[in-house]
Chain A
Amino acid sequence: MDHALDTTMILNGAPVSRRIPARQHLIDFLRDEMGLTGSHLGCEHGVCGTCTVRVDGQIVRGCLTLAVQANGKRVDTIEGMSDSGELAVLQQAFHARNALQCGFCTPGMLMAAQDLIGQKRKLSREEIRAHLSGNYCRCTGYQSIVDAIEEVLQTDVPHGQG
């Protein structure tokens, strides 16, 4: 049986092929093999959310995804989504609102937050909080993070909708 598998994924828009040990999770692959250290590892068992990345357009826990499971899939990380400008508005709002201090949670927070942007619906603070419930921040107390996301959502949603 195979302990390592040939794996091809579209990583931040470009195809990447590697032989990957089955036991390696996606974050170790991204950080150690690809040098993409923007995705962080906190708890490594699904609780903190700092490892949040996008696979085939959906946010997932990178620490609970085997890198070989990404075979044939699109993987987007904080690096790719920053470079493409997709996150620019959110990043600016986080900056303006002091929504980060140490920054450890920030890549995962932005990933989870971006998932909300573009929903053509006004969201309450409670709904924003529920969506972020899987992402721990040990610094900010969350208020400023919710403020930043709320601001972006308000500018995003045309008045009269919601």
Chain B
Amino acid sequence: MKAPSFAYAKPGTLPQVFDLLERHGDGAKILAGGQSLLASLNLRLSSPELLIDITGLPGLNGIRIADGKVRIGALTTHRQIEQSSEIAEHLPLLAQAVRHVAHVAIRNVGTIGGSFALADPAAEYPACAVALDATVVLAGSKGERRVKARDFFRSLYETALVPGEIVTAVEFDAIRPNFRSVFLELARRQGDYAIVGLAAHAKADGSRFSDVRLAFLGAGATPVLAGNAMASLEGKPCSADVVAAAKEALAEDLDPPKDLTTSSAAKLHLARVLTGRALAALSQ
């Protein structure tokens, strides 16, 4: 289908963006890569009066490493993340995850800020952000605000963004020595949204698990941190029994919504399969 009629503006400064957002309220939508928004407009899922194209704003694009933090500007594309040697070195979880984000032609344009603002429950970055306890940086006419990823994703496609605010960056702690990251997902076709996926991070010396973080995508309305499974692993030896107990504990952590092709029980099963693979990789 064709998108409904709308107006378009491409402001050059943040205050201009905030001003437009204020004047148009609900009628305005931010346009970043457009890889989700324009698809939804073509499907006529919404009909905004105005699209505010933020890709002309200076300072929101790029990856910066400083003081053990990796700051990724909202307009940084999936492709930039995929090709960044800094991300590969300091944020291997994201480097692994980005290969599962859509297809090259979409990765060339889609942005990390758009992915966070959209908050698709099957998207890769949000689960990585929850696993790594990342911080989302928001800005509005009143200034900047910082929100932990686990508080940012509130419900299905719902975030902590309030009217008039935009995402300006996401900040992660760079990986520390002796920690490892593993990202795994199952999808029907390379690049499709995940049926279920797992962002895993832990300190592992080959004998014991510690500081284990397991965040699932496609397993709830938001990324789900598997608290029971994580607790069951803490300080335990990397043994088959311990891994089996963690998989068992997932029943208390996850109640995955069924979709068109996969039942809730099948998703839980697949989440356990991924957990086994991830723990094996982490404990190598």
Tell me the chain A residues, 69-106 only, with Cβ under 8 Å from chain B.
69
Does B105 lie within 8 Å of A112, measured CB to CB? yes
Does A59 lie within 8 Å of B189, measured CB to CB? no
- In the bound assembly, the distance between CA atoms of A58 and B105 in angstroms comes to 8
Q: Mark B4-26, 1 if CB is under 8 A from A, else 0.
A: 11111100000000000000000
- In the bound assembly, the distance between CA atoms of A61 and B105 in angstroms comes to 6
> Which of A5, A52, A134 has most chain B Cβ within 10 Å?
A134
A60-B109, A64-B109, A133-B190 as given contacts; A1 in contact with B102, CB under 8 Å: no
Within the complex, the shortest CB–CB distance from B50 to chain A, in Å, comes to: 5
Among B4, B55, B189, contact of A23 (Cβ-Cβ < 8 Å) = B4
A151 located at the interface, meaning its Cβ lies under 8 Å from any Cβ of chain B in the complex: no
Among B34, B41, B79, contact of A69 (Cβ-Cβ < 8 Å) = B34
- In the bound assembly, the distance between CA atoms of A3 and B8 in angstroms comes to 6
Size band of the A side of the interface?
20 to 34
> Which of A2, A23, A25, A63 has most chain B Cβ within 10 Å?
A23
Measured between beta carbons, the chain A residues less than 8 angstroms from B41 are 23
A68 located at the interface, meaning its Cβ lies under 8 Å from any Cβ of chain B in the complex: yes
Q: Which residue of A lies closest to B110 (CB)?
A: A64
Does B49 lie within 8 Å of A1, measured CB to CB? yes
Tell me whether chain A's interface is mostly helix, strand or loop, or mixed. mixed
Tell me whether chain B's interface is mostly helix, strand or loop, or mixed. loop
Measured between beta carbons, the chain B residues less than 8 angstroms from A61 are 35, 105-106, 109
Does B7 lie within 8 Å of A1, measured CB to CB? yes
A28 located at the interface, meaning its Cβ lies under 8 Å from any Cβ of chain B in the complex: yes
A34 located at the interface, meaning its Cβ lies under 8 Å from any Cβ of chain B in the complex: no
A21 located at the interface, meaning its Cβ lies under 8 Å from any Cβ of chain B in the complex: yes
Which of A9-17, A43-51, A117-125, A154-162 faces chain B? A43-51
Measured between beta carbons, the chain B residues less than 8 angstroms from A133 are 103, 189-191
Measured between beta carbons, the chain B residues less than 8 angstroms from A28 are 2
Measured between beta carbons, the chain A residues less than 8 angstroms from B162 are none
Measured between beta carbons, the chain B residues less than 8 angstroms from A2 are 7-9
Within the complex, the shortest CB–CB distance from B249 to chain A, in Å, comes to: 34
B266 located at the interface, meaning its Cβ lies under 8 Å from any Cβ of chain A in the complex: no
Among B1, B34, B49, B191, contact of A44 (Cβ-Cβ < 8 Å) = B1
B42 located at the interface, meaning its Cβ lies under 8 Å from any Cβ of chain A in the complex: yes
Measured between beta carbons, the chain B residues less than 8 angstroms from A115 are 104
B281 located at the interface, meaning its Cβ lies under 8 Å from any Cβ of chain A in the complex: no
Measured between beta carbons, the chain B residues less than 8 angstroms from A52 are 105
A37 located at the interface, meaning its Cβ lies under 8 Å from any Cβ of chain B in the complex: no
- In the bound assembly, the distance between CA atoms of A112 and B190 in angstroms comes to 15
Does A134 lie within 8 Å of B53, measured CB to CB? no
Does A25 lie within 8 Å of B104, measured CB to CB? no
Can you sample 16 A-B contacts with CB below 8 Å?
A: A3-B6, A5-B8, A22-B8, A46-B38, A59-B105, A60-B105, A64-B38, A64-B42, A64-B109, A65-B34, A69-B53, A130-B99, A133-B103, A134-B102, A134-B105, A134-B191
A: residues with CB less than 8 A from B are 1-3, 5, 21-23, 25, 28, 44-46, 49, 52, 58-61, 63-66, 68-69, 112, 115, 129-131, 133-135
